[in-house]
Structure 1
Amino acid sequence: MSAPPTTATALLRRAIGRHRGAVLASSALMTSWQVCESLVPVLIGIVIDQAVASGDTSRLLGWASALCLLFAVLSYSYRYGARIGFRALQEETHALRTEVSAHVLDPRGARTDRLPGDVLTIATADADMVGVVIRQLTMTAGALVGLSVSAVALATIDVRIALVVLVGVPLVLALTQALSPRLARRSEARQESIGRATGVATDLVRGLRPLKGIGAETIALERYREVSRRAVDDAVAASRWEGVLHGLTAGLSGLFLAAVALLAGLLAIDGQLSIGELIAVVGLAQFVAEPIALLSYLVAQVAQSRASAQRIVDFLASPPLVLEGDQAAGAAASLALSDVVSGPLRGLSVSIAPGRLVALVVEDPAEAQEIVTLLRGEAVPERGRVELSGAVLTDLGVDHARSLLVVADHHVDLFEGTLLSNVDPAGALSEARLATVVAASAVDDVAEHSADGLRTQVRVGGTSLSGGQRQRLGLARALAADPPVLVLHDPTTAVDAVTEHRIARALRDLRHGTDRRTTLVLTSSPALLVVADEVVHVRAGVAVAVGTHHALVADLGSSAYREAVLR
């Protein structure tokens, strides 16, 4: 697959290039439509001079038939030209959506600060606006040729009128084009602000339940009001310049039409133009106003397309979230952090041998998050090594690393579906294995509270569930994956004490019974610490104590550990 374009212009050029045939066909037909439109007043003028004025019925029928044929060509040219162009537009829009989605769904992820709603706007509204460039090009080609044919037709009637057109049209276009750079900047600001507001709104809706729980709705609403006001201000600013552009075009086109009509009227009074020629000139002058307005409208649309193209280019240029190489790991399911310096970590060393259940008690949440980030392969330590099965984690391929290691974060992402589809998305578990996993994570308690059992519906983000229920589902999904190495980050913080003890015993039995797996748990829960083979106390970015939970609690010199875990 070729690399994505690096500039907005390159993206727009690619959009046109990969639909070259359709663009050429649509442009030819739209040009035919505009030429026919320009010939309508000319043909009407000929009918008046050649048939109506002379009273010749046969000529009238002949020219009327020619006029009907012209309208037939005009109609079908627009119909099929627009259809071909619209199909190409939709195909390009779909291709862009697929490209943005592929970047999001890449196994390595995408390192971006954009909110999910903003990314959705890029994949929808921005992709649509970039696809519109195909229509812009086909319409521009037709409008320019239509203007040229009109100028030629006017020149055959009177050179002076043609000169007015040749001077007036470029002048109008130049004046409207002068507004394009400012409009482009305003359009880009509008697209960014709308995307940001959409992202915040999506974030607000997803987190409404916990926000109500802590009484933070007012703060969240004020944040949304702020970004919404900015989006409104930017949209109004861009629309204001669009209005100036359209108003200027309409005003200049009106003056231009009036000048041409006045000149043609004076020439007709002097007898230099026939009635048919006067009608043709006035009709052509009115027609010319249409492509001029169309071209100025396209200037505004091109500005929006460029702004959307830049947003897509910027997003596609975001680097992978997870770092990878091409090495292979050893056979032993081990995990180690050796003298790691990264962020708040100041020389942390932890080693988890194959088949062991190790718990980390990390006092600072920032340090715990840094450890999780390193274990996900999303960062490289400033010093030291993070090793999986004897190989540096970021030197392994993503697929290979994920076949060996699963990191279950504290925040659980749930999808719309059922309890079952969130635990076993692929439907790969046997009934016996599913029952074991559901029981070990206490999801069976959640299922028993509903008549639908594991078929109970789950809303997007798990908003229909409590925090504890969401944690259980996340734990069940991690256990169902059954990786050689599993990392759990605070898996039971929202679970009641009785259920927590049940989960701790089940985790020990499931992961370290007959089939001994390797497990690392970041927790301060005594229930989980008791079942661990070894506990490492991390403070100020380094390991300050190692032993079993009972030994560390009994150690008179480990008062800091007791304070961190006893509750």
Structure 2
Amino acid sequence: MVDTRGPARLLWSLLRQRPGLLLLTAVSGALWMLPTAVLPLVVGAAIDSGIRAGSVPALLAWAGVVVLLGFTQAAGSALLTWAAHSSWIHGAETSQRLVHDHVVRLGGTTTRRVGTGEVVTAGGSDITEVATFFEVTGRLTGALVSFAVAAVAVLYISPLLGLIVLIGIPLATAGIAPLLIPYQRREEVQRERFSAVTSMAADIVAGLRVLRGLGGEARFRRRFQERSERMRTAGVAAVRAESWLEGAEVLLPGLVTVLVTWLGARLALNGTISVGELVAFYGISAFLVIPVSTATEAANSYAVALVAADRIRDLLNLEPDAAAPPHPVPLPPGALDLQDDELKAPAGQLTVIDAGEGGSALAERLAGHPVGGGVLAGGVRLADVEPAELRRRVVLVHNQDPLFSGPARAEVDQGTPVPVDTALHAADAADVLAALPGDAELDELGRSLSGGQRQRLVLARALCADADVLVLDDPTSAVDAHSEQRIAQRVRDLRSGRTTVVLTQSPLWKAVADTTPGGTP
């Protein structure tokens, strides 16, 4: 289980799912960077005990230590590379699986409560940012361990220089920290605009045929270009803040190195420290730029990962609309009536409601999306019905519901007593299958079809479901009047004895209706 009470908790709960990999990453990070921290001390000792003292054995011994450090670092680097890549894969795979599984569990709730671009971004760039933070954790551990070892060494050699290093480097790092706040804010803005552009792109692609037919392609292209330009501006602002971070992480520790080198040279001249110790101090102070830079990179990656984790957390915290009641009540058999405080759809009849702009919301409420309110079906509250039974017996169809790629007849066929050809005839959609290329194959989302063709296939699929209650949200809004008249009459005949609710302003549906209640409640 993951902890979604906060973005930091989410990241940590993902990390600790593989404690062995986390430990291996930390150990390999230390083995990778620690030899570099120790190397200046070894070189300093070789100068004092080998070169200055004229001892060849001592010099060779210290040279052997340098070689050993090199082999250790090579092994640590190879191990860290494997562990870091494994951590990246773990972060990406685990995050992607969480998002995918939860979106599947949400079902129709996703499209009603989250934008398409938000889901795409959470399943794409956000997952990458989380994985990138996982990848840098090993190098961060190595930076912290090597910094601690270097700190002990410099304090032992010269407390004065050691204090300068231990105080100066953290202060330099602290000087970088204020730059992280505007960078994180600009990353959030850039991420939000990226999500908006992605959502718009998905909408344009889905409606490209309609836009071309209405002559609106150029207008939407301009709008997409404007949003893309705003996203680019936000991206440039984020990169500008990042460049300040990278400059500060070199400048501030570099000033500490200059100070240590100048003061160390004066101490060496008056004999307080040896030449070897001066070399060691210079090497360590120069080396400390690496762990500081690594720590800054990790802080930067963590700031971006927090933004991404927060977005993923928002998605994971969404709950499906239809939660199973603790004590489900079965619906009575046969045709069902629908009613609430202000309207009623009699059982077994065709009810047409002129709901205007509120038609989609009313359709969802009547069908129990989400379950709640005072809507009754056969005298039973929808909120008290098991979701699986409710979705089987009360079917909601929007006029923009998607079609899946594959054989068109298989897409329509629901395996019920209503034959596919009968449903296609009632929806006036037999010609749609005849016009499809090849073996009546649908492409993704049926994008090669016109809006009216898609609506007729969606309606045929709904009729095949043979539901006790069928709620249709403006099912023929993109169909010509002659076809709509045929569809309305045929649906009435096919659905005779079953409850059908149609929310539309079309007079052709009202002409064949059994009942026509008033407008939106």
Equivalent-residue separation in structure 1 for 2:437 and 2:88 (angstroms): 48
CA distance 1:539–1:24, change in 2 (3 Å):
same
**Relative to total residues, which structure has the larger strand share, 1 or 2?**
1
CA distance 1:436–1:389, change in 2 (3 Å):
same
Q: 5+ unaligned residues in a row in structure 2: which ranges?
A: none
CA distance 1:171–1:421, change in 2 (3 Å):
farther
**Alpha-carbon deviation of 1:323?**
5.8
What letter corresponds to residue 164 of structure 1 in structure 2?
A: I
Q: Which residue of 2 aligns with 1:299?
A: 299
What letter corresponds to residue 336 of structure 1 in structure 2?
A: D
**Alpha-carbon deviation of 1:116?**
0.4
TM-score normalised to the size of structure 2?
0.88
Q: Which residue of 2 aligns with 1:122?
A: 122
Task: Indicate the SS of the match to 1:279.
Answer: helix
Q: Which residue of 1 aligns with 2:343?
A: 348
Equivalences for residues 483-562 of structure 1 within 5 A = 483-496=467-480, 499-500=483-484, 503-504=487-488, 506-507=490-491, 510-512=494-496, 517-523=498-504, 534-541=513-520
1:228-252 residue CA offsets vs partner (Å, 9 max, x unmatched): 3443343333333322222222111
Equivalent-residue separation in structure 1 for 2:345 and 2:494 (angstroms): 23
Farther off after superposition, 329-338 or 403-412 = 329-338
CA distance 1:441–1:337, change in 2 (3 Å):
closer
Residues 1:370 and 2:361 aligned together? yes
Task: Indicate the SS of the match to 1:537.
Answer: coil
Q: Which residue of 1 aligns with 2:195?
A: 195
Q: Which residue of 2 aligns with 1:179?
A: 179
Equivalent-residue separation in structure 2 for 1:57 and 1:100 (angstroms): 63
CA distance 1:291–1:3, change in 2 (3 Å):
closer
What letter corresponds to residue 469 of structure 1 in structure 2?
A: Q
Given that residues 333 and 404 in structure 1 are in contact (C-alpha distance below 8 angstroms), is that contact kept between their aligned partners in structure 2?
Answer: no
Q: 5+ unaligned residues in a row in structure 1: which ranges?
A: 341-346, 543-567
Equivalent-residue separation in structure 2 for 1:511 and 1:123 (angstroms): 41
CA distance 1:453–1:205, change in 2 (3 Å):
same
**Alpha-carbon deviation of 1:29?**
1.8
**Alpha-carbon deviation of 1:443?**
3.7
Residues 1:480 and 2:464 aligned together? yes
TM-score normalised to the size of structure 1?
0.82
Given that residues 396 and 472 in structure 2 are in contact (C-alpha distance below 8 angstroms), is that contact kept between their aligned partners in structure 1?
Answer: yes
Given that residues 330 and 386 in structure 2 are in contact (C-alpha distance below 8 angstroms), is that contact kept between their aligned partners in structure 1?
Answer: no
Equivalences for residues 269-348 of structure 1 within 5 A = 269-322=269-322, 325=325, 326-340=327-341, 347-348=342-343
What letter corresponds to residue 302 of structure 2 in structure 1?
A: V
Farther off after superposition, 82-91 or 403-412 = 82-91
Superposition RMSD on alpha carbons, in Å?
A: 3.1
Task: Indicate the SS of the match to 2:472.
Answer: strand
Given that residues 338 and 378 in structure 2 are in contact (C-alpha distance below 8 angstroms), is that contact kept between their aligned partners in structure 1?
Answer: no
Task: Indicate the SS of the match to 2:352.
Answer: strand
Equivalent-residue separation in structure 2 for 1:323 and 1:333 (angstroms): 24
What letter corresponds to residue 537 of structure 1 in structure 2?
A: T
Task: Indicate the SS of the match to 1:71.
Answer: helix
**Alpha-carbon deviation of 1:481?**
2.6
1:299-343 residue CA offsets vs partner (Å, 9 max, x unmatched): 222211111122222222334334653423333233334353xxx
Q: Which residue of 2 aligns with 1:453?
A: 439
Q: Which residue of 2 aligns with 1:241?
A: 241
Given that residues 126 and 308 in structure 2 are in contact (C-alpha distance below 8 angstroms), is that contact kept between their aligned partners in structure 1?
Answer: yes
**Alpha-carbon deviation of 1:194?**
2.1
Given that residues 21 and 83 in structure 2 are in contact (C-alpha distance below 8 angstroms), is that contact kept between their aligned partners in structure 1?
Answer: yes
1:97-137 residue CA offsets vs partner (Å, 9 max, x unmatched): 22222332224624865420221101221122223333344
**Alpha-carbon deviation of 1:91?**
1.9
1:42-69 residue CA offsets vs partner (Å, 9 max, x unmatched): 2233344444556666555544333222
Equivalent-residue separation in structure 2 for 1:100 and 1:3 (angstroms): 12
Task: Indicate the SS of the match to 2:404.
Answer: coil
Farther off after superposition, 303-312 or 431-440 = 431-440
Farther off after superposition, 158-167 or 30-39 = 158-167
Identity across matched positions, percent: 30
Q: Which residue of 2 aligns with 1:465?
A: 449
1:441 to 419, 427, 431: 427
Equivalent-residue separation in structure 2 for 1:212 and 1:37 (angstroms): 63
Q: Which residue of 2 aligns with 1:73?
A: 72
Farther off after superposition, 401-410 or 307-316 = 307-316
Residues 1:360 and 2:352 aligned together? yes
Given that residues 368 and 383 in structure 2 are in contact (C-alpha distance below 8 angstroms), is that contact kept between their aligned partners in structure 1?
Answer: yes
Q: Which residue of 1 aligns with 2:404?
A: 415
**Count of residues in Structure 1 that have an aligned counterpart in Structure 2:** 519
Given that residues 268 and 274 in structure 2 are in contact (C-alpha distance below 8 angstroms), is that contact kept between their aligned partners in structure 1?
Answer: yes
Equivalent-residue separation in structure 2 for 1:24 and 1:540 (angstroms): 64
Q: Which residue of 2 aligns with 1:91?
A: 90
What letter corresponds to residue 327 of structure 1 in structure 2?
A: P
Task: Indicate the SS of the match to 2:241.
Answer: helix
1:448-503 residue CA offsets vs partner (Å, 9 max, x unmatched): 2245132x3413x3221111211122122213333233222333333345544554
Given that residues 419 and 458 in structure 1 are in contact (C-alpha distance below 8 angstroms), is that contact kept between their aligned partners in structure 2?
Answer: no
Task: Indicate the SS of the match to 1:538.
Answer: coil
Given that residues 333 and 485 in structure 1 are in contact (C-alpha distance below 8 angstroms), is that contact kept between their aligned partners in structure 2?
Answer: no
Given that residues 485 and 518 in structure 1 are in contact (C-alpha distance below 8 angstroms), is that contact kept between their aligned partners in structure 2?
Answer: yes
